[in-house]
């Protein structure tokens, strides 16, 4: 029941805001109120976690009290002011009448979203980055009852932005475990579709064009993969399309103070979500303030800019401060930032980076052909982009870290061609301004983010941002039948990625298929169907060879009754496996890293005395920290006893 609190507050906030929009000039309405409500509730998620963290109050009771208080304030104010009734009436009046096409299209969207919801609910977090840091940091925070930094062997658990995981923490503490962790990305996908249709409407798309835009966004393979994981690129996509909606609205009319505040909150929450949001946000913020200055003048625009700057500082302050105190900078140590950024100095270097980011979408099932393509790209552009030496084209059409979007690359090219050839048919300059801003997003990503063989996932927000343009152009320049066919064609295109996710398939693809499986098509799934496979097998979907040793070690540790557990693992080991297998911290088992990276050793509690240590890097040791080896499971070793010695390495 506690889980209902965030959703009740969101609904109350949304209805209150809908009452405000009822009296405002168009374009306004339910979708804009939805984005604002998401921004305000997201800000509450971030700020309440920071405030409770100061008092070690990140507990089910602490969060419940915070959400109940917020509900009383939002709901009580809305009731007294009459906003709830006015907003509900406005919402009912604005509900559109639907024809057969809209009903069929919405049914298709609901079916795909429903399938992905089932996958998200039934699957434990099993993405590699999730096991390394996304979920590990959530478990540490739940255990520590605080967002404070802690000793770890993998510093990205601390240094990377925290909003998506903070939201997962709220759900985990209110629900009791990680069952709902994947829903943060799923909800971001749903929110992004709403944002995409609003952006398409602002650009001048008809209702049919808005559905085309939504189908474009929903059918992005990488998005379908990530919508059921605990990664954070879809969260970035949601905050980016929201930012673009408010910026596009500013081109049409002046924003009210609460809309400008929402723009600032969306900017702040995106920055708190992932480092890739920083380069993505720059063109949009420039676009927004260029129209602010044009409308208000420089002095007034600077004054109104505080509605944007203050939320950015307030929401990110705690995260920036912890990083500064631990690593020397708000985004981490300078060495860390240098390792993640590119910053080419010539036009050709940027062009090479853009070509590299594009070619990653055209990987083939043939490894030799992929190698020849990579060699050709290196030969042509390697002198301009030194990172191309690491270029790998790995086939993974249904894997969330590798899935490309070749169809969408072609559709973007068609959109650009349509804008150029039919530019006189558009009554407003807004679609052209929007297209330049979104195109610059792709440039900024190539300009700032260093090449990563799995970095294709960073592009997801860009493809979501492009979707409104495709809807405007296709529906505006073709007949209704072409647009309708595009909607259903794109919805049909989602099916393979909805059903055959490599690590969370509804229908498995295995060499020896069983009841809910088929033979491998282009690639086997790593496991069988989520409807049949045990959750523990899904947890190890990407790393099946390590499953037996980790499970046996955890089973024996639980049987021992030890409650204080140490970890001595490599930075590449999947820490969250052990939290999940031991059901920590809710089981009462306390886990600490006893072998942190050197710069984080100062964060380790010298008084912590584990009665067992799980080790993956201990070789042939028969003793560790004064404790004897009690279990050798191959990949994992277990040392236990009451003789722990901190300084014994």
Reading phi first (left if > 0) and then psi (alpha if -120 to 50, else beta), residue 634 is in: left
Chain-centre distance of CA 59, in angstroms? 24
Taking only the tens place, the pLDDT of each residue in 492-532 is: 999 999 999 999 999 999 999 989 999 998 889 999 999 99
Query: In this structure, are 186 and 37 located in the same domain?
Result: no
Final residue of a structural domain among 496, 520, 542: 542
**Token pair belonging to 431:** 């679609």
| pTM recorded for the entire structure | 0.97
66 and 18 in a single domain? The answer is: yes
Residue bearing tokens 């699957």: 123
- The answer to whether residue 357 is domain-embedded is no
Please check whether residues 496 and 580 belong to one and the same domain.
no
Whether 537 and 553 map to the same domain: the answer is: no
Tell me if 153 is assigned to some domain.
no
Q: Does residue 225 sit in the same domain as residue 311?
A: yes
Give the tokens for residue 404.
Answer: 């490309």
> What's the pLDDT at 647?
67
Are 235 and 290 within one domain? Answer: yes
Which helix (H) or strand (E) segment holds residue 250: the answer is helix 233-252
How far lies 293's CA from each of 251, 287, 301, 302, in Å? 11, 10, 6, 8
Q: Are residues 411 and 479 in the same domain?
A: yes
Strand partners, 592: 566
Question: Which of 492, 517, 542 is a domain's end point?
Answer: 542
For residue 453, what pLDDT is reported? 82
**H-only helix segments in 478-617:** 480-493, 495-499, 535-539, 547-560, 576-581
382 contact partners, CB below 8 Å, separation of at least 6: 352, 388, 389
Residues 196 and 182 in one domain: yes
Whether residue 368 is contained in a domain is answered as no
Cα distances (Å, whole numbers) of residue 521 to 228, 505, 508: 22, 13, 10
Q: Are residues 331 and 409 in the same domain?
A: yes
How many domains does the structure of the chain reveal? 4
20: containing domain: 1-95
Please identify, among 504, 521, 554, the residue that sits at the C-terminal boundary of a domain: 504
Q: How far is CA 228 from CA 21, 124, 179, 270, in A?
A: 33, 10, 12, 20
d(CA 32, CA 14): 9
- Using 70 as the pLDDT threshold, list the residues of the chain that sit under it: 1, 647-649
In a domain? residue 140: yes
d(CA 13, CA 77): 10
Is residue 366 assigned to a domain? no
Output DSSP code: residue 391. Answer: -
- Is residue 198 within 8 A of residue 223, CB to CB? The reply is no
The pLDDT of residue 349:
86
Indicate the SS3 state at residue 570: coil
Residue 350 belongs to some domain of the structure: no
C-beta separation of 91 from 33 below 8 A: no
Q: Rounded to an integer, what distance in angstroms lies between the CA atom of residue 165 and that of residue 172?
A: 10
Residue 578 and residue 536 share a domain:
no
Q: What gap in Å lies between CA 314 and CA 266, rounded to an integer? A: 13
Q: Is 497 found in the same domain as 636?
A: no
Phi, psi of 591 (to 5 degrees): -120, 130
Torsion of CA 137, 139, 144, 150, to 10 degrees: -30
**Residue 356 resides in a domain:** no
| Strands 590-593 vs 564-568: parallel, antiparallel or unpaired | parallel
Same domain, 416 and 553: no
Picking from 151, 41, 163, 17, the residue whose alpha carbon sits closest to that of residue 91 is 17
Q: Which residue has the tokens 């301004």?
A: 433
Overall residue count recorded for the chain in this entry: 649
Strand stretches in 376-481, DSSP E? none
Residue 513: inside a domain, yes or no? yes
- Cα separation, 272 vs 232, whole angstroms: 11
Closest CA to 593 of 557, 548, 646, 633: 646
> Which of 376, 387, 402, 404 has its CA nearest to residue 353?
387
Give the whole-angstrom CA distance, residue 648 versus residue 641.
14
């Amino acid at each position: 029941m506690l889980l209902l609190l965030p959703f009740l507050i969101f609904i109350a906030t949304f209805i209150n805001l809908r009452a405000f929009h009822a009296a405002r000039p168009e374009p306004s309405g339910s979708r804009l109120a939805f984005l604002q409500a998401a921004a305000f509730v997201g800000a509450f998620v971030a700020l309440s976690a920071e405030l409770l963290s100061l008092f070690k109050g990140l507990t089910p009771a602490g969060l419940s009290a915070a959400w109940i208080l917020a509900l009383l304030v939002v709901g009580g104010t809305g009731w007294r002011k009459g906003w709830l009734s006015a907003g509900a009436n406005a919402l009912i009046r604005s509900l559109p009448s639907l024809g057969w096409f809209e009903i069929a299209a919405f049914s298709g969207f609901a079916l795909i979203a429903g399938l992905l919801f089932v996958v998200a609910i039934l699957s434990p977090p099993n993405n590699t980055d999730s096991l390394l840091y996304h979920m590990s940091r959530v478990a540490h925070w739940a255990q520590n009852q605080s967002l404070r930094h802690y000793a770890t062997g993998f510093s990205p658990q601390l240094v990377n932005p925290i909003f998506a995981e903070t939201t997962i923490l709220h759900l985990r503490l209110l629900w009791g475990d990680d069952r709902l962790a994947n829903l943060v990305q799923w909800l971001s996908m749903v929110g992004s579709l709403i944002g995409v249709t609003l952006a398409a409407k602002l650009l001048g798309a008809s209702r049919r064009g808005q559905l085309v835009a939504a189908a474009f966004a929903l059918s992005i393979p990488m998005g379908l993969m990530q919508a059921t994981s605990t990664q954070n690129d879809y969260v970035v996509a949601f905050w980016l399309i929201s930012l673009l909606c408010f910026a596009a609205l500013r081109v049409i009319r002046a924003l009210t103070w609460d809309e400008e505040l929402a723009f600032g909150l969306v900017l702040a929450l995106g920055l708190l979500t992932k480092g890739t949001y920083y380069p993505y946000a720059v063109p949009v913020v420039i676009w927004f303030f260029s129209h602010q200055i044009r409308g208000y003048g420089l002095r007034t625009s600077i004054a109104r800019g505080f509605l944007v700057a203050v939320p950015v500082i307030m929401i990110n302050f705690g995260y920036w401060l912890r990083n500064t105190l631990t690593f020397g900078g708000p985004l981490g140590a300078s060495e860390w930032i240098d390792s993640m950024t590119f910053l080419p100095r010539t036009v050709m270097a940027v062009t090479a980076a853009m070509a590299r980011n594009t070619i990653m979408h055209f990987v083939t099932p043939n490894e030799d052909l992929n190698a020849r393509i990579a060699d050709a790209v290196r030969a042509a552009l390697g002198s301009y982009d030194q990172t191309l030496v690491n270029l790998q084209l790995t086939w993974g059409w249904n894997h969330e870290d590798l899935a490309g979007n070749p169809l969408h690359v072609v559709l973007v090219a068609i959109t650009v061609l349509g804008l150029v050839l039919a530019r006189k048919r558009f009554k407003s300059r807004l679609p052209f301004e929007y297209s330049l801003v979104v195109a610059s997003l792709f440039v900024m990503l190539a300009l700032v983010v260093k090449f990563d063989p799995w970095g294709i996932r960073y592009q997801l927000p860009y493809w979501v941002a492009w979707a409104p343009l495709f809807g405007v152009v296709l529906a505006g320049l073709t007949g209704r039948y072409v647009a309708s066919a595009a909607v259903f064609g794109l919805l049909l295109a989602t099916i393979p990625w909805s059903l055959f996710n490599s690590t969370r398939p509804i229908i498995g693809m295995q060499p020896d298929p069983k009841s809910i499986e088929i033979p491998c098509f282009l690639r086997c799934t790593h496991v069988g169907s989520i409807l049949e496979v045990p959750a523990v097998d899904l947890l190890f979907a990407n790393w099946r060879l390590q499953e037996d040793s980790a499970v046996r070690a955890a089973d024996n540790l639980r049987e021992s009754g030890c409650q204080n557990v140490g970890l001595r693992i490599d930075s590449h080991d999947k820490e969250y496996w052990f939290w999940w297998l031991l059901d920590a911290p809710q089981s009462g088992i306390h886990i600490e890293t006893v072998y942190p990276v050197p710069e984080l050793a100062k964060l380790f509690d010298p008084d912590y005395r584990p009665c067992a240590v799980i080790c993956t890097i201990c070789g042939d040791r028969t003793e560790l920290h004064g404790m004897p080896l009690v279990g050798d499971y191959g990949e994992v070793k277990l040392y236990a006893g009451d003789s722990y010695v901190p300084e014994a390495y």
